[in-house]
Structure 1
Amino acid sequence: MLPRLLRRLIPLFILVALGVFLWQKIGPTLAAFNPLAPREPQVTVTHNTVLTQVEALGKLELVRYRFKDVVEYKRAAKYPFLPDAKAALIVGGEAVGCLDLRKIRPQDVTFEGDSVVRIILPAPELCAFQVDHSQSRVFSTENDFFQDASLVDEAYRYAEAQVRKSALQSGILAETQRNAQQILVPLLHTLTGRRVVVGQRLVAPGPARKL
């Protein structure tokens, strides 16, 4: 009787073992088709880049100033019974001095005899300034009444204006002029084989732009 029972159970064991084997092999694949199974979140990005402007550049960057500042910005409350809103920022910024070589006119280059070339360079400019957000952070905000984003934006705009002001006060235009002579005189001497005399056009610099 026992051999007969074993003959009946052996096929059942084989079927169970085969089912376990098949499930191990194809179970993960079948799980992918299960609409109720948890899935990894998928991210889809759609973009359409459009070229809006092509600008010819002739600005020679000659010096870059970097700044660190602690800005305490206070905005008066709208109602007198409310405290003033405050934000404290640790700000990193940079400003760039340059010459716009597109402003050199034909009459700005004159040859004197066979040995001298005289060049009048355009006035130095503060051509770019910005807050470096990778080097900046918000230290604290107070009494902003859930408007901290607006308060911090105002503080950063103020800090950016201070970057421009600090660069001009630190003499970035004079440094730009000195660097222009140090770089351009040897270069032009090599190109022309003449002694190079550099002058500066006395024109008020144009407005700086943000980076």
Structure 2
Amino acid sequence: MPLARLLRQLLPLAFLLVLGWFLWKKVEPALTGFDPLRADPRVTVTHNTVLQKVENLGRLELVRYRFKDVVEYKKSTYRFLPEAKVALIVAGDAVGCLDLRKVRPQDVVFEGDSVVRIALPPAELCTWQVDHSASKVYSVENGFFQDAELVDEGYRYAEKNVRRAALQSGILAQTTQNAELILRPMLETMTGRRVVLTQQMTVPTLPKRR
């Protein structure tokens, strides 16, 4: 009888242990990595956006040039120290376009019932920029704690070189050629006439009298 009495006394304890083990298995995944001293990150962003300018756009982009260049930019700042140098692997874009806002009423001439003659403005280099997502700094030497400034100067030089390279590569002539290939068929579909594209005549400026 003492054994039976002991079993009856231990049975509630064993039940509580089994219940506790079952509950622990249920809540264990939620408690994994729980730190009572650490709260969930809370980010607060405050901004006030103000519309400063509305600009009418009439530029028709007709060609994009993509450049890849290795730029070595050197700068001598201190007389008795070696010159600072940064090497950049630069990717850049240049876009040629026509500004259709410059088409004047006198630039559109109808000839009979089947022809329209349109004088287009000169081709322009709309944008040129360095694509920083596809560019990287290869090396910096002798920066003397001015590495960031040296890299910025190197990128500014590279951006100017993108413009120069685009003009030397004939992007303006390609823009004019693409206007014939892209703009003329579109205008013929819209007007139902044969479209002849020409260039606006530029009036030379006379030198001022002294």
**TM tier, smaller:** 0.7 to 0.9
Number of aligned pairs? 201
**AA matched with 1:60:** L
TM-score normalised by length of structure 1: 0.84
Distance 1:195 1:34 in 2: 76
Residue in 2 aligned with 1:75?
75
Give the SS at the match of 2:132: strand
Q: Which runs of 5+ in 2 are unaligned?
A: 204-210
Q: Percent identity?
A: 63
Contact 1:71 1:89 in 2 (8 A): yes
1:141 to 1:128, Cα distance in 2 relative to 1, 3 A? same
Deviations 1:92-114 (A, max 9, x none): 11100000111111111111223
Residues 1:161 and 2:160 are matched in the alignment: yes
Shift of 1:29: 5.7
Query: Aligned-pair distance for 1:151?
Result: 1.0
Post-superposition CA distance 1:108-137 (Å, at most 9, x none): 111122332111101110001111122211
Please say if residues 91 and 159 of structure 1, whose CA atoms lie closer than 8 Å, have aligned partners that are also in contact.
Answer: yes
CA separation of 1:34/1:87 partners in 2, compared to 1, >3 Å: closer, same or farther? closer
Query: In structure 1, how many angstroms separate the alpha carbons of the residues matched to 2:195 and 2:50?
Result: 41
1:158 and 1:73 map into 2 onto residues whose CA distance is 8
Q: 1:171 to 1:29 in 2, by over 3 A?
A: closer
The whole-number CA distance in structure 1 between the counterparts of 2:102 and 2:25 is 75
1:54: which partner in 2?
54
Name the amino acid aligned to 1:65: Y
SS in structure 2 of the partner of residue 134 of structure 1: helix
The reply to whether residue 201 of structure 1 matches residue 203 of structure 2 is no
SS in 1 for 2:131: strand
1:166 deviates by 0.5
Instruction: Evaluate the alpha carbon distance shift between residue 120 and residue 85 of structure 1 in structure 2; reply closer, same or farther with a 3 A threshold.
Output: same
Q: Is the 8 A contact 1:123 1:203 kept in 2?
A: no
Residue 60 of structure 1 contacts residue 100 of structure 1 at CA under 8 Å; is this kept in 2?
A: yes
Tell me: CA distance 1:59–1:86, structure 2 relative to 1, closer, same or farther (3 Å): same
Contact 2:107 2:200 in 1 (8 A): no
Residue of structure 2 in register with 1:10 after alignment: 11
Runs of 4+ in 1 over 6 A off after TM superposition: 30-34
Determine the structure 2 residue equivalent to 1:22. Answer: 23
TM-score relative to the length of structure 2:
0.84
* Structure-2 residue corresponding to 1:209: none
